[in-house]
Chains A and B, each alone.
Chain A
Amino acid sequence: MAGAGAGGRAGSVRSRTGRAVALARLLNRDCTRLLELYRERENFPPEMCLEKDRIVALSPSAPHLSANERVWLLHSALHQCLRLLERVIGWEDEQGFGEEGEYESMRSTVKDRLGHLLQSTKTLLVEGEGIAPLTPNPDNPEETDGLEKGGIFEAKLWTCRVLQELIHWTQSTAQTLHTMHSERDKERGKTTGRKGKRERGGIQS
């Protein structure tokens, strides 16, 4: 297949980035809907659980980072989000909160698509460079587990924050990858233009 790279990567980097962007956008919508369903179930007003502090404290938009580093940070953040989501799902199942409703269905969908997005971002990383994602900061107890610090109400608030993290990081992933995708398009255009000029010059010469 054209564009198939090593490690089972299918398509060109550009197309993979495009697919990752689309998937990140789709997942972002899913996460938004998941949070809505959660608020409905818990009768949480919109102003509740609007924490500004991030559980996953990474900054892939730093200007000095390379594209690969940015992808790597996004991949790490999404990986932590998946871990947080799995923890939430496990905790809710343990508490017997699941009842096979729309929330539970959407929760499962988000988990699956988040795994796919992780896989997509992983394929964007240059082999040998930062494949292993960052692990959570052990100094941030919230980042490790916010479900055990208080009662069930606090755990619900923390669940709400995890869902917000998902929204944030899927949006960041979509935006960052989209920017990278656009930049690569520009670079490709420039490269194609110079190469064309050279080729045309060679012919002329």
Chain B
Amino acid sequence: MDHCLLWALLLTSQVRVSQCQNGFQPPVPQRVRVEPDFVSQVLSIAWDKDLTYPVLFYDIEVLRTELGEIVYNYTIEVRADSAGRFHHWNWTSPIPLECTSHTVRVRSRQQQHTSDWSEQIVPGMDIPVNTGAKMYPQDRVVAVGSNTTFCCIVQERKEFKSFKYKTSILNSTRLSRRSYAGTVTNQPPSIPSGTNVVCLDDSNYYTGTVVFVGYPPGDRDLVCETRDLVSVECQWRIGQDTYLRGVQRQTHYTLNGKQCKLHNNLVKSSKKDKLQCQLSVTLDQGEINWTLGARNPLGTIQLTDKADINHRVRPHAPLEVYTANVYSRNASVHWRWGPNGYRTLPLECQAHVNSSENTYTFDYSGPGVSEALLKDLQPDEEYTVRIRCRTQQNTWKWGDWSLDYNFQTIKERPDALNIWVWMDSNQTGYVKWKPLSKSESHGQIVAYEVTYWNPEEDGRRTLSLPQTQHRAPLCPGDIGDCVITVTARNSAGTSPAASITIPRFSAGEVHTLYKVSGRNGGFDLFWPPYANTSCGYVVEWCPTGKQDCDVDWRKVPAGNASARIESGSFVAGVRYTFSIYACSSGAPELLERRQGYVVELAPAQHVSELKAQQYGSDVLLSWDEVPLDGRRGFICGYTVYTPNGSHLVPIENITDPNTRSYMVRHLSPGFYKFTVKAHTSGGQDGGVTVSLKLDPSTDWLVIEILVALGAMTGFLFLITIFCYTKRQWVKKTFYPEIPEPKLPEEWPTTPGTFGSRTLAVEPCPHNTVHIVENPERESDKFSPEVELEEEEGDGAGAGESPPDTDSSDPVVLRYYNQVVDDGSQGPRSADSSSSSSSDSSSTSLASTRTDVTYTGIQSAASSSGAPVQPEASDMGGYRPQMTPELASAEPQADSAGPADFPLLGDFGGYQPQITWRADSRPASTAPWAAPHPSAPPSSSSPTPPLRRAQIAYPPPPGFTTCCRANPDPPPSRRHHAVSFFGGDTGLFQLISVFNP
């Protein structure tokens, strides 16, 4: 009740708010009026001009009345000379004006001075007198992407709960005690029934509204024409879908200001996206603008087409098309135009005739054309015809096609058959004919008749075959000069006869075969023209080598010596044989044959019978050709590979397809594999591999031996030549002349101190070394125990000791005697004399030296018979190292030295390399000995090279030392002989020491 009183006061009174100001106060605006436009949410505010006191500025404020919230505040300037008696101002509310009450107040302003407000209230739908729930705006149509603010007024004594836009919850703002607002931004297009916006209160009561979101009209492409010559039809594209449906929201059209309605003259074109509007007009208006207006709640557009409708005549589709007369090869077609007709209108018409095999289009023209003659039809063929027309002058668009009309031409007798004969090598074969196509049969074929005729016998035999059979056997009996005639029969008659004379088949007939390459799925054949042909040529083809071939052929007119052969039966990789016949009145004459592949492929099979045979260091590979079925192309050649790891390495590419072998040369013995692949222009086959173990050749072995022997011989020959040419050097190097002992001139020849004494040749006494072998020791160790047996009266008693008759040292004895003999005989042979004369200078040298002669080491067996001296030359590695020249180069001072007995003196480069002494012996007792050359090397000293034995050496273990000295030698000519006897090896060494 209180609310009612309050709102009554607000609605029935204008409140003037006094504003106490100092000084001047402008007049209050009079008669303020506010007109709400709820659809556009605009408040139209007007107030009277104050003519007595012109005011240039006014303050305008808009408040939400209940909450006193100022939602608009603006100061406007008005023109003093503006027309009219009142001022006007529009304000667009962001929320529907029904949502809540708005207070509009206006005051005048004079600089800083303002009048009192003059107010006006626009009541909303949330005033207490309206107790029900409601949402605003109701059924609003808005553009896609726009924002809309909705408000919800809840029932009295109910509380607002939530907003929902479709299924989304909206944020809400309170506008008044019962009113709440929510805003939706960027709205998408709605469904035809609109988008529901609902409001829920605390009692789960739903209030709602519907908003339709769409687009303004988007129509385009207006084209106007006439079809019936009494009205204009304008078509246009609908364009963008407006998403607005229903009478109140859909697009409404006008054509030149007249309504186009769906139930009247607005129709959807056959194309779904087009509309058309028809308007009755007269055609004498000339060129005018045809304007289409399109309007919906969101906007209006206009489309214009400027045209003279007389030039835009598009005829309707002909009606009632029918055939008046139908024959086997032509038919006349008639049709009717609509009620108005185009009797005088020059028309150009098309008849579109369609059959199962062909399509034709016939053109006709004339005023009001209504019939046409269809020519060149096929007998017994079903046709469909349809007609359309357009104006002959001022050509515009073709009219619509009429409905299809079907008719069938009548039958005729069949065309002549295309026959051919196929014979194989067994002189059997068949005559074959191609089935007649529908355009050739002119009706259903019911049977074939085959007639055999032999002119020689003048007899005929006829055979009737069903329609499904397309071959017949050859003439019975002798087929020579037999003529076969074949005809086809249908319900209209029998075809012309097709005849062929069976050629005599001569077995083994040889014709040159030429290759022909396929191209683009066919073969291009050319052959030399044949003068005697009367009816052209026949090209026959068949898969090569195929028994009972289903032959195919093609007839080529005379004058053409080429043909492009195409067939759906051609298979890639299959060889075809083409036979070209000359057609004549008699039997066909075979001109030539060709073979080819429509597409060559890689061979499907490999070469057969691949073998490998060894020929010395060569291998001969041989193979047979690839079987015909597996070639799948012309063999261009072969490639021989040898495997290298997992790869095949080609070793030869044979480009001659007739080659059946290949020699792999110069192979060394081993295991080999060879792969041979045949190749066509389509590629290579998988290859076949053969392996072979290559054995070494006997000849090769002989050659190797001979070469080795030759090389050895040559080497020896070279050595011989070298030694011969350098024999002097070799002799000096390896066999230096051993200087003979020279007797000094003062050698006493007369009896005196020595002269009266002859050299007693006695075997020198020697020490006997007994070798006591220790059986416990290893045989290879050279460490015998040496036991020296000192002779009694050593030195002095030597002469008294019996001569050593031990058979183990006869060489020593012999040599010793020889030496003595030489010395006693004085100058010897010429050689000796020459040497003595030539070595006169060295004689003195020799007189001051101790000469050592090596007799070498020899086995006991070898030493038994042979003289020592010659054998010494064969003792390689144990030769004197001091050449006479070197010896002569010794300074004479040596000879002048005091060393009258230089047993251990300077030997001029012939020095022992080690000094080996027996600890158990005093150095003076046996100060000389040379190590046995074969003595085991000491760990502390390697085996010395065998040079000249040092006299001071003790005998090596296992050797017997033999030493004899002249019991009365002159001090300067003491002679020592040392012999070593090998214990285990039986070797001995004799070292003679001459001490001049």
Contacts and interface: CB of A to CB of B under 8 A. Distances in A.
B209 to A, nearest CB: 5
A43 B250 contact: no
A97 B246 contact: yes
B246 A42 contact: no
A98 B193 CA distance: 8
A58 B248 CA distance: 36
A139 interface: no
B166 interface: yes
Contacts of B246: 94-97
Contact of B196 (A92, A96, A98, A153): A153
A156 B198 CA distance: 12
A63 interface: no
Interface in B162-200: 166-167, 191-194, 196, 198
Contacts of A153: 135, 138-139, 196, 198, 208-210
A53 interface: no
Contacts of A151: 138-139, 209-210
A4 interface: no
Contacts of A41: 191, 193
A129 interface: no
A95 B245 contact: yes
Nearest to A152: B210
A152 B139 contact: yes
A96 B248 CA distance: 9
A41 B192 CA distance: 10
A151 B139 CA distance: 7
B206 interface: yes
Nearest to B168: A43
Interface centre among B167, B245, B250 (most CB of A within 10 A): B245
A22 B246 CA distance: 37
Contact residues of B: prevailing secondary structure = loop
Nearest to B210: A152
B166 A96 contact: no
B130 interface: no
Interface string A68-99: 00000000000000000000000010111111
Contacts of A157: 206, 208
A126 interface: no
Contacts of B198: 48, 153
Interface string A142-170: 00000000011100110000000000000
Contacts of B204: 47
Contacts of B206: 48-49, 157
B51 interface: no
A41 B191 CA distance: 9
Contacts of A98: 192
Interface in B243-266: 244-250
Interface residues of B, number: 23
Interface string A40-74: 01111001110000000000000000000000000
Contacts of A43: 166-167, 196
A98 B246 CA distance: 10
Contact of B192 (A48, A99, A156): A99
B193 A97 contact: yes
Contacts of A152: 138-139, 194, 209-210
A43 B208 CA distance: 12
Interface string B187-226: 0000111101010000010101110000000000000000
A47 to B, nearest CB: 6
B166 A156 contact: no
A97 B209 contact: no
Contacts of B245: 95-97
Nearest to B167: A43
A169 to B, nearest CB: 24
Interface centre among A44, A47, A48, A151 (most CB of B within 10 A): A151
A46 B302 CA distance: 46
Nearest to B248: A95
A81 B683 CA distance: 83
A138 to B, nearest CB: 24
Given A48-B206, A151-B209, A152-B210, A92 B193 contact: yes
B135 to A, nearest CB: 7
A42 B209 CA distance: 12
Contacts of B247: 94-96
A92 B192 CA distance: 10
B192 A42 contact: no
A49 B194 CA distance: 18
A53 B779 CA distance: 140
A182 to B, nearest CB: 40
Nearest to A49: B206
Interface string A94-118: 1111110000000000000000000
B210 A96 contact: no
Contacts of B210: 151-153, 156
A99 B208 CA distance: 23
B182 to A, nearest CB: 15
A144 B191 CA distance: 28
Given A151-B139, A156-B196, A96 B209 contact: no
A113 B108 CA distance: 72
A47 B206 CA distance: 9
B138 A96 contact: no
Nearest to A44: B196
Given A42-B196, A43-B166, A43-B167, A96 B250 contact: yes
Interface in B112-135: 135
A153 B193 CA distance: 10
Nearest to A150: B138
Contacts of B135: 153
Given A48-B206, A151-B209, A97 B139 contact: no
Contacts of B191: 41, 99
Contacts of B250: 96
A46 B327 CA distance: 73
Nearest to B135: A153
Nearest to A154: B208
A89 to B, nearest CB: 13
A41 B190 CA distance: 11
B192 A96 contact: yes
A42 B194 CA distance: 8
Nearest to B137: A151
A193 B250 CA distance: 69
A109 B139 CA distance: 30
A72 B386 CA distance: 60
Contacts of B244: 96
A42 B210 CA distance: 10
Nearest to B209: A153
Nearest to B166: A43
Contacts of A48: 198, 206
Nearest to A48: B206
A152 B135 CA distance: 12
A48 B204 CA distance: 9
Interface centre among B167, B193, B196, B248 (most CB of A within 10 A): B193
A123 B542 CA distance: 81
Contacts of A49: 206
B196 to A, nearest CB: 6
A96 B135 CA distance: 23
A152 B191 CA distance: 14
A156 B206 CA distance: 12
A44 B196 CA distance: 9
Contacts of A95: 192-193, 245-248
Contacts of B139: 151-153
Nearest to A93: B246
The 3 nearest A-B residue pairs measured at CB = A96-B245, A96-B246, A95-B246
7 contacts: A42-B193, A43-B167, A96-B244, A98-B192, A151-B139, A153-B135, A153-B210
Given A44-B196, A157-B208, 16 more contacts: A41-B191, A43-B166, A43-B167, A43-B196, A48-B206, A94-B246, A95-B192, A95-B193, A96-B246, A99-B191, A151-B139, A152-B138, A152-B209, A152-B210, A153-B209, A153-B210
Interface of A: 41-44, 47-49, 92, 94-99, 151-153, 156-157
